[in-house]
Structure 1
Amino acid sequence: MSSNDFADTRKTATTPVVPRRALRDGVYDAILEKLLDGSTPPGSSLGIDPLARELGVSPTPVREALVQLEHTGLVSRVALKGYRVAQPLSPRQMAELIDTRSILEVAAAERAAVHAVDLVPELRAAHAQHVLSAHRVRKLRGEGGHPTGFADLREYFAADWEFHLTIIRAADNRFLLQLAESLGAHVHRLRQTVDHGTMDVDQAVEEHAEILAAFESGDPRRPVEAMRRHLSALAGRATAESSESP
């Protein structure tokens, strides 16, 4: 066998790696959306074979995706029974999650303030997208719609979280960013737990505007204070909605 033949053989052998990874990621995203859109309520079972048939794939990428999702807390594995959708966050878990976000995001705001000149244009764009998506949610409500499903709210939630990630990226610390990204699924789980019927669209937009203004001010203390106020207010709203839920 020539060296060229060996190279061709080696290339052929390694080619499936990327498609398989893409397939696994696609299955992960598909199951994640099922978990977040309310079609699989807490406690419902997640069979590997039924999911594979529904998604038109083999059981292997489904199994791999469920293992990944178990690490997020969105699903749990029960001995001899397979996987189930996790129960909603308890009040204590919600408090711990928001406390973790506060520790991380206040620290990120402090570090990002040093790079405010470069950050502000990106943060304005992220805020504008958040405002636009909030307007669409309000419009659905005004037209008699009931945007409580994940499909209606997905764009709004993504814009909200992107505003926060923009600040965290500006902190220029890869480990802070990794920690924040690892919290993404838990943040979605928090949104599942609270009552979307009393969603805090207006408050969140107003508080994000205050954070943006704080970075625009050039005072490095103001972004830290604004972020701390925002997350404290978020904690209060989440606690109130959780206590009112049946």
Structure 2
Amino acid sequence: MNPTVEPQDRRLLRRQMLADDVYEAIKTMLMDHAIRPGARISIDGLARDFQVSSTPVREALARLESEGLADKEPLKGYRATPLLTLTEFDDLYRFRLLLEPWAARRAAELVDDAGRDRLRAELATAVEPTSVDYAGYKSLTAHDNRFHSLIAALSGSEQVRLAFQRTHCHLHIFRLHYDRDTGPEVLVEHRQIVDAITSGIPAAAEAAMTTHLDNSMSLRLRKIYEPAQVPPS
């Protein structure tokens, strides 16, 4: 702890660190289905488990509600949100296919040296998952979100960036229980997108993003909705 920080500031910092720890712990439980989709979330129970007051638990659940991972029911408390239904999954990818290939094309048209540096720097942060639980793949999840958000930002449209950000799609997609041993494929496709954008080739950037989304939708993810595995609506 920095000795120059005032005692009150130290308390606030410790509280923020505690709140962040509780948030990450509950988020991990939701992502790994330790709290099952649709299940009620006990604030008092989590506070006892984490040996904290109810305040950081409530703060964490408010953050998770904003990300679409928890729902607050009037007079009842919180529940974990259900997994995406097949219809919701298809709607999400139809939306992404309208938005992101255009953003990649536009980013390639507008890219400058600073944009190239940002894309290459983000690509350099990507690491392959170390395991199939959230602890193992959350780094890839975070990179995936930053990568797609950055391309949306480089399109020059703040509305496009905000529209993508509001979907929290990286969380909802990675929350689905599927064969997550796809890190190498994802990163190869990310490199292809970066190569096209940094080379300033709009058509190639649009095509690379379309291929990436098509592969995620059709080859890597949609198979989880085979009849025996369709989550309840």
TM-score, normalised to structure 2, is 0.78
Instruction: Return the structure number with greater helix share.
Output: 1
- Displacement of 1:245 in angstroms is 5.9
Q: Is the 8 A contact 2:41 2:80 kept in 1?
A: yes
Q: Which one of 216, 219, 222 corresponds to residue 239 of structure 1?
A: 222
1:128 and 2:118 aligned: no
Contact 1:195 1:245 survives alignment (8 Å): no
Q: TM-score, normalised by structure 1?
A: 0.74
Specify the alignment match of 2:170 in structure 1. 187
| 1:112-127 pair list within 5 angstroms | 112-113=107-108, 114-127=110-123
Shift of 1:93: 0.9
**Offset at residue 148 of structure 1 (A):** 1.7
Distance 1:116 1:78 in 2: 47
Aligned-residue sequence identity (percent) comes to 30
Residues 81-120 of structure 1: pairs in structure 2 closer than 5 A:
81-113=76-108, 114-120=110-116
Alignment coverage as a number of residue pairs: 222
Q: CA 1:129–1:70 in 2, change beyond 3 Å: closer, same or farther? A: closer
Choose which of 122, 128, 147 in structure 2 pairs with 1:163.
147
CA RMSD of aligned residues (A): 3.1
Matches within 5 A, 1:159-238: 159-184=143-168, 186-197=169-180, 199-237=181-219, 238=221
Instruction: Structure 1: state its 5+ residue gaps.
Output: 1-12, 141-146
Bigger radius of gyration, 1 or 2? 1
More moved, 85-94 vs 160-169? 160-169
Cα displacement string for residues 178-215 of structure 1 (whole angstroms, at most 9, x for unaligned residues): 3333323x421221214135x43232122212212212
What SS does the aligned partner of 1:40 have? Answer: coil
- Give the AA of the match of 1:180: F
Separation of aligned partners in 1, 2:65 and 2:125: 31
